[in-house]
């Protein structure tokens, strides 16, 4: 088949119907009046690599990658950026000149949303606490390292996973027991576990040891207001949910595929919130 005249992209996942990425990119394509398309691309793990290679031959300029393919995507790339290599996962594929380039924009998305939500926050001014030790934690820890967090405490139910992350990403990354005292003198607390998500158990963590001005982030966006954020706000902490990270992580891919550096504005937020309902 000949390449399509308009650049095509999409999000690869299994299942993927729930992904809000087509809404984000669809909004930008319309907003910037660009020719292009972005769709859900459901693909089971067994055929992931063959499917990606087929896309490169059929007018696709790239794709986002979500669960469960982020590691498989890393393995098939010809080129990787530092974030993807360090995080060990690819969420953005760019097809160019017969090569497959893999990037990870989750750390970028996290930092951009953080910067906008808390302009006065100095991540280099004190310890950060990260709850969880999965893929999302890796992205957040990598991000915090790049902005000079002097100490990143990783708290996880399965302590060995936190210890492994600390070993790999240290020496500023340390594993600590999942206990309230770990929040002492932290400037930032970030939940990357699935606790608090719709359908999961709630995250129960006493915030008393956290200094009152410290920011609390939950990268969950379903629901937008988790128990953690509600408790934090009630105790006077500035808070941020995961919607900003979701929107900002989409920017680098859009720019690479469609040639315009897109903005996250209120109308985009509204369009995506509609999809969340
Ligand atoms: P992701 O790639 O999205 O980060 P993941 O690798 O499955 O997903 O990681 C999920 C995180 O949520 C882990 O830190 C997990 O803790 P464990 O390493 O102990 O499994 C955490 N998590 C999930 N359910 C949990 C629960 N019921 N209680 C405590 N932590 C939980």
Which residues make up the CATH 3.40.50.10860 domain(s) of the chain?
8-105+250-276
Q: How far is the CA of 157 from the centre of ligand 1 (A)?
A: 8
pLDDT digits (tens, 9 = 90+) for 5-50: 799 999 999 999 999 999 999 999 999 999 999 999 999 999 999 9
- pTM score, two decimals? 0.96
Contact 107, 87 (CB under 8 A): yes
pLDDT digits (tens, 9 = 90+) for 45-89: 999 999 999 999 999 999 999 999 999 999 999 999 999 999 999
- Is domain 8-105+250-276 annotated with CATH 3.40.50.10860? yes
Q: Class assignment of domain 108-244?
A: alpha beta
Q: How far is the CA of 159 from the centre of ligand 1 (A)?
A: 11
Atom of ligand 1 nearest to the CA of 194: 12
**Nearest-angstrom CA–CA distance, 89 and 76:** 11
Which residues make up the CATH 3.40.50.720 domain(s) of the chain?
108-244
């Amino acid at each position: 088949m000949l390449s399509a005249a308009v650049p095509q992209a999409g999000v690869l996942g299994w299942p993927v119907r729930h992904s809000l990425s087509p809404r984000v990119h669809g909004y930008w394509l319309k907003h910037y009046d660009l020719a292009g398309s972005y769709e859900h691309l459901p693909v089971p793990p067994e055929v992931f690599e063959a499917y990606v290679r087929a896309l490169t031959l059929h007018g696709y300029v790239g794709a986002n990658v979500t669960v469960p393919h982020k590691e498989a995507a890393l393995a098939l790339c010809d080129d990787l950026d530092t974030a993807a290599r360090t995080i060990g996962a690819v969420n953005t594929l760019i097809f160019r000149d017969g090569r497959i380039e893999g990037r990870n924009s989750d750390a970028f998305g996290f930092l951009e949303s953080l910067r906008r939500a808390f302009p006065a926050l100095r991540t280099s001014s004190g310890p950060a606490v990260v709850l969880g030790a999965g893929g999302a934690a890796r992205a957040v820890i990598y991000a915090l390292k790049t902005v000079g967090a002097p100490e990143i405490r990783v708290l996880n139910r399965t302590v060995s996973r936190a210890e492994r992350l600390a070993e790999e990403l240290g020496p500023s990354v340390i594993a600590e027991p999942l206990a309230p005292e770990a929040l002492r003198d932290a400037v930032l607390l970030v939940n990357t576990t699935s606790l608090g998500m719709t359908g999961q158990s709630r995250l129960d963590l006493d915030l008393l040891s956290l200094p009152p001005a410290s920011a609390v982030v939950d990268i969950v966006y379903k629901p937008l207001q988790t128990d953690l954020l509600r408790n934090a706000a009630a105790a006077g902490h500035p808070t941020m949910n995961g919607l900003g990270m979701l929107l900002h992580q989409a920017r680098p891919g859009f720019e690479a595929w469609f040639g315009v550096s897109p903005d996250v504005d209120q109308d985009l937020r509204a369009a995506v919130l509609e999809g969340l309902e």
